[in-house]
Amino acid sequence: KELRSIGIQPDVIICRTEKPLTSSVREKIALFCDVPPEAVIQAMDASTIYEVPLVLEDEGLGRLITERLGLRTQPPDHREWRALVQRIREPASQVAVALVGKYMGAGDTYVSIVEALHHGGIAANARVTVVQVDSEDIERLSDGEVAERLGAFDGIVVCPGFGSRGVEGKVKAARYARERQVPFLGVCYGLQWAVVEFSRHACGLSGANTTEVDPHTPHPVIDILPEQKSITEKGGTMRLGLYPCRLTPGSLAHRAYGVEMISERHRHRYEVNNAYLPVLTAHGLRVTGIYPEKNLVEIMELEGHPWYLGTQFHGEYRSRPNRPHPLYRDFVRAALRRAGTERAPEVAAVSEEVRGVGSPGMGIHAGDARAAGRDSPLTLPSPQAGEG
């Protein structure tokens, strides 16, 4: 009525509802809004946001729109999307992932990473429960307490960020994943702190650090490029946008992507210091992706580990529910292998192609490892449970 009072006449009325609309309710809405009864569409509550397009299509919204616009269309094929929704609603397995970062509290802080993890779960026919773990809390814990906090997780993601707050917690999380053979993904700043951790504890480079946090570190394993040190404006020193990356054949990254050259999005100032690559690689940290033009490190992996990988780029930005990012997809699969619940590949894949806040029932949870522990009072929902 408000729209009509200013001269806007709706063609369709979409009604959010928990219960099906009766014919009498539809007719009453149609009468007062001056639309045909078939143009009153019920939008029933869905178990996942990805089900909403199917709900509206089944109600005839697509047909109404194309008829109103005079468009000639072919019958839509929703088989892939319906299969995707089915996997979300009835996953065959479950996995718990710790999201270690310092910007915790707001549920959508790392929304792209959370969604990319869920996309990987869809491909693996698994529910991924993502639990926030504040890196500031982790850095105050002893090694034994870190093991207790992170022990219930099947995979660990160390998140991007800037500055010094909470970074030693990221170091402890990376060390725990490395030493305990837990699948690990470090994203941007997460890669850099994994390199710092490895330098200190595997290479014996005491005091190794990034010059972003300690400009006077004796071992600047992460540093700004020499030609950029004279630039005072931070925006001028950032590597922003899409850059090419060459992958090493046989690496985890190459197996995930299935091609040798890729392009991914960036947003960072500091890089792995190439001067330290000989000592890092001598101790087992492999460079498996480089930016060819300047020979910059894009991806690093750990030899002898089931799945330990860091990226300087943000692969999550390019992930989609029906086209999961290859690294997030394979990270989830590695976590499932650790949990002992991985499905066969022919069952798991919604789409094997690539080429990025939790939805209803696919959310991010604040808390620690005990909140996701399968032996704790608060356990993961069963795979058959409906999405909340």
Give the start-to-end residue ranges of the domains of the chain: 2-71, 94-371
Instruction: Using the Cα atoms of residue 186, residue 285, residue 214 and residue 230 in order, give the sign of their dihedral.
Output: negative
CB 328 within 8 A of CB 315: yes
Q: What is the pTM of this model?
A: 0.83
Stretch 192-215: mean pLDDT: 97
Helices (H) and strands (E) in the chain, counts: 15, 15
Joined together, the tokens standing for residue 332 give 């989830």
**What residues form DSSP beta bridges with 272?**
222
Closest CA relative to residue 210, chosen from 196, 200, 199: 196
Domain spanning 94-371, CATH class: alpha beta
pLDDT tens track for 281-333: 999 999 999 999 999 999 999 999 999 999 999 999 999 999 999 999 999 99
CB 136 within 8 A of CB 376: no
Q: According to the model, what pLDDT value does residue 103 have?
A: 81
CB 233 within 8 A of CB 154: no
Reply yes or no on whether 188 is catalytic.
yes
Catalytic residue among 316, 325, 342, 387: 316
Reply yes or no on whether 201 is catalytic.
no
pLDDT tens track for 7-52: 889 999 999 999 999 999 999 999 988 899 999 999 999 999 999 9
Displacement of CA 158 from its chain's centroid (Å): 11
Which residues contact residue 109 at a Cβ distance below 8 angstroms, ignoring those fewer than 6 apart? 101, 103
Q: According to the model, what pLDDT value does residue 378 have?
A: 29
Three-state DSSP state, 191: helix
**Per-residue pLDDT band at 233 (split at 50, 70, 90):** low
Q: What is the average pLDDT score of the chain?
A: 86
Residues in the chain: 388
Catalytic residue among 115, 119, 139, 188: 188
Catalytic residue among 254, 266, 314, 325: 314
Q: According to the model, what pLDDT value does residue 293 have?
A: 95
Stretch 272-277: mean pLDDT: 97
Closest CA relative to residue 291, chosen from 272, 306, 317, 318: 272
Reply yes or no on whether 316 is catalytic.
yes
